[in-house]
Amino acid sequence: ASAYNPPVGAEDMCLLSSPRALSGGLSVTGGAIFAAGAESIVVNPALTASSQRTNLHFGYTLLATGNDVDEDKIGTAVQSAIMIPFKLYVFSGYVNGTFANFNEEMYLGNSVNGKIGLSKEITDKLNVGASVSGGAAWKHGNDWALGFNLGFLYNYGNLGFLRNFRYGASVLNLGKNYNNSNQLLRPGINKESNAGEYPGLATIKLGAAGSFVKNDNFELGAALDFTVPAFQNLIVDMNLQAGIKNMLFLSIGEKFNVRETIEGHKAFIPSVGLIFNFTFDVKNNEYFAKKDWSQSEMIISAGYKNMYDKVNAISAGLDVNLGMKDTSAPEIILIGMDE
């Protein structure tokens, strides 16, 4: 087997293009304060199983480097996704484009990547999901990827002082990933060697999350993820979120990539994201009224992350959840009882 030496930043290739991902909110358990949208299948295809509404998502990130050796000073990452609930399962589709050609760090080239997934509630506590992923890369020669991903989420409930405690896991990139064969030579995490396969084969993600405070006015939660790419690295993600009136959320994240840090590729400045939810009405539209979409929810987000010493990312995102959540309790009618 080849030594583990992906390009710097390659393990985060699909975690660059939205504020929620940049700020650590896209965890294997749905973030410190649970939120599952179409982009959630990037980390765990099971997260969407409890979703009731169609979700449309778009995210864009501007990457900028201050390294003198980089001829290209600007890169971009963009994504679009859709989630549609059906009676038996929830469908999600995701497309990402990453264009980063920095010589020192994030020497990723150009790629377009996609995922298609299905998720399902097995019980009121257990969600499972699976997805197929694929992609095409160019700039440093042509390459392709095709793989399979599995995941689960268990909603435990209250655990001691923690509210909405949950844990989950996923196994990603089971298949053929990008590699450096037939490509222009470029350095990996270890600058002395050429880059190898990425992202890591059979990447395992484990995590837990819960809320310290949860009421109608305020919620404070935390999430912790451990990622093991190809059994040869350890990445620790921490996310802290505070929410006010289920309307305004502050997300703060910290990432520690052991192998990159050992090789001198590090940045310990926390990432930050701001998320704003609001409802809107669509009037005089028969189609929306028929679908119960006349009142829907829009989510606007922004984020910043210092990726490495001189590489920074600024991101913006937009989500539309069609319709409103059904919060009413099920109605039980006993046949034969007098009204």
Beta bridge partners of residue 132, listed in sequence order: 116, 148
Ramachandran quadrant class, 242 (left: phi over 0; alpha: psi -120 to 50; beta: rest): beta
For residues 130-145, average pLDDT: 90
Q: Is 160 left (phi over 0), alpha (psi -120 to 50) or beta?
A: left
Say which residues have a Cβ less than 8 Å from residue 101's Cβ, sequence separation at least 6. Answer: 71, 72, 75, 107, 108, 109, 110, 139
**Share of residues in the chain with pLDDT > 70 (%):** 93
Please give the single-letter amino acid code of residue 230.
A
- pLDDT tens for each residue of 261-270: 999 988 889 9
Residue 129 — pLDDT band, cuts 50, 70, 90? very high
pLDDT higher at 16 or 101: 16
Long-range contacts of 177-184 (CB under 8 A, 24+ apart): 177/145, 177/147, 177/201, 178/10, 178/111, 178/135, 178/137, 178/143, 178/144, 178/145, 179/143, 181/143, 182/141, 182/142, 182/143, 183/140, 183/141, 183/143, 184/140, 184/141
Under the banding of pLDDT at 50, 70 and 90, the label for residue 311 is very high
Q: Distance from first CA to last CA of the chain, Å, rounded?
A: 72
Predicted TM-score (pTM) of the model is 0.90
Minimal CA–CA distance to 171: which of 144, 193, 150, 187? 150
Residue pLDDT, tens place only, 104-113? 788 888 999 9
Average pLDDT of the chain, as a whole number: 90
Q: What is the DSSP letter of 6?
A: P
DSSP assigned state of 84: E
Helix (H, G, I), strand (E, B) or coil at 287: helix
